Amino acid sequence: MSESSEVVERLRYAIARVNQEIALDVGIRLVLGVLFSILTFGFLFWFGWVVGFVLGPQIGLSPFQFGACGAGFFFFVALAARRATQGEAGFVAALVRSNRR
Q: pLDDT of 29-81, one tens digit each?
A: 999 999 998 999 999 999 999 999 999 889 999 999 999 999 999 988 888 87
> Which pLDDT value is given to residue 69?
93
List pLDDT tens digits, range 16-26.
Answer: 999 999 999 99
> Which pLDDT value is given to residue 97?
60
Give the C-alpha separation, 74 to 48, whole Å. 11
Q: Is the pLDDT of residue 82 over 80?
A: no
CA distances from 23 to 28, 30, 71, 83 (A): 9, 10, 31, 25
User: How many structural domains comprise the chain?
Assistant: 1
Q: Is the pLDDT of residue 88 over 60?
A: no
- pTM for this entry: 0.61
Structural domain containing residue 65: 3-100
Maximum alpha-carbon separation in the chain: 82
If pLDDT is split at 50, 70 and 90, which confidence band does 89 have?
low
